[in-house]
Amino acid sequence: MSSTVIRPCPHCGALNRIPANHLTDHGRCGSCKQVLLPVDQPIEADATLFQEVVSTARVPVLVDFWASWCGPCRLAASEVSALAREMVGRAVVLKVDTEAHPEVASQFQVQGIPNFVVLKNGRVVMQRAGVTPRSEMRRWLEAA
């Protein structure tokens, strides 16, 4: 079964299922038929959604590995959200909670958080731990 992201329509509030491979596409609300813009915010991903997005994305994917107890992770969160808005349609931003989904973090040998991974065509392009300026994260995605 395909993983989907549930998004409310900004026009009518109806919930729409967006398949993982269409997160950067324009769509239409199933209820009011108004245009739904590409996802412009970080997406909380479990192992299933993570795998589907990474394997089907036609654009680079930035993954923010984080945990709620991590002060630097909370500090980086606003920059990650701003980056998702800046890169709308050109990248997908995922957030993986290392406490809830340690199996995903272990795939990338995440030992320090926040930890950022950029993937393109399912392959790691770069990985870095620590708080990072949004401008640098943007460069990573643009270079991928």
CA distances from 36 to 22, 39, 53, 68 (A): 11, 9, 19, 30
Q: Count other Cβ atoms within 10 Å, centred on residue 124.
A: 13
DSSP state letter for 37:
P
How many whole angstroms separate alpha carbon 77 and alpha carbon 120? 22
> Catalytic site residue 70?
yes
> Catalytic site residue 32?
no
How many whole angstroms separate alpha carbon 36 and alpha carbon 119? 25
Which are the catalytic amino acids? 70, 73
